[in-house]
Amino acid sequence: MADNEVDSLSLVARTLSALGGDVGKTRSLGMSRALTAPIATVWSAIAELDRIPLWFMAVSGEARPGGRYQLDGNAGGEILVCEAPRMLGITWEYGGDVSYVTIELSETASGGTLFDFTHVADVDLDRWTEYGPGAVGVGWDLGLLGLARHVELGINTPIETPEWSASSQAKAFMATSSDLWAQAAINSGDDPEEARAAAARTTAAYTA
């Protein structure tokens, strides 16, 4: 685990790619991070409904293929794949949109876990131009930070408390995350000036 929240962002590899159909419409957002916790511990944290509120948010539903879940005040969806302790696939349904989240776990040589995350969605091109991938990427960075704190340090409370969200550390985390997602967009072929402008708007939205 990194010494602080902002430093932890450097432990994550971020990728973006356009998938078939209209160029730029369907995007795949990827995140990968090595966790020191064993694979069974990480799997339990992401797949057991009573564990998820300890690092993410309250959730209800049925943790089985074909079951549905609902995050309190947020997204819900269907559990498509639940293959312990390797793969979890779900739909991510929010605001009338449906996208797809897949988490794959594998063991590292040191006995830890490689956490690979993919979110595939059809994006509104105007919204992408305005905010870029950070619109969702910053939130996923926060989620992965919460997971890492839980499985590596045994912290059983989500990081996004009102006190933390208002702190200078939180604002620095969100700004840095937004900048890193802008760089991922540039690496994927987006215009650098437009990507950085979108990141600035995302940072303002998260830190206002």
Q: Give the whole-angstrom CA distance, residue 173 versus residue 142.
A: 9
Q: What is the pLDDT of residues 79-125, one digit of tens each?
A: 999 999 999 999 999 999 999 999 999 999 999 999 999 999 998 88
87-94 and 97-107: which strand pairing? antiparallel
Question: For 31-56, what is the mean pLDDT?
Answer: 98
Q: What is the pLDDT of residues 58-84, one digit of tens each?
A: 999 999 999 999 999 999 999 999 999
Is a pLDDT exceeding 60 seen at residue 22? no
68-71 and 59-61: which strand pairing? antiparallel
> CB burial class (10 A; 0-12, 13-18, 19+) of residue 21?
exposed
- Are 154 and 1 a contacting pair, CB within 8 Å? no
- 200, 177, 186, 190: which is closest to 11 by C-alpha? 177
HSE (CB half, 13 Å, CA atoms) of 51? 15
pLDDT score for 2: 67
Q: What is the pLDDT of residues 166-206, one digit of tens each?
A: 999 999 999 999 999 999 999 999 999 999 999 999 999 99
State pTM to two decimals.
0.95
pLDDT score for 36: 98
pLDDT score for 179: 98
pLDDT score for 125: 87
Task: Determine the longest span between alpha carbons in the chain, in angstroms.
Answer: 44
Q: What are the structural domains of the chain?
A: 5-207 (3.30.530.20)
Dihedral sign computed on CA atoms, order 56, 61, 64, 66: negative
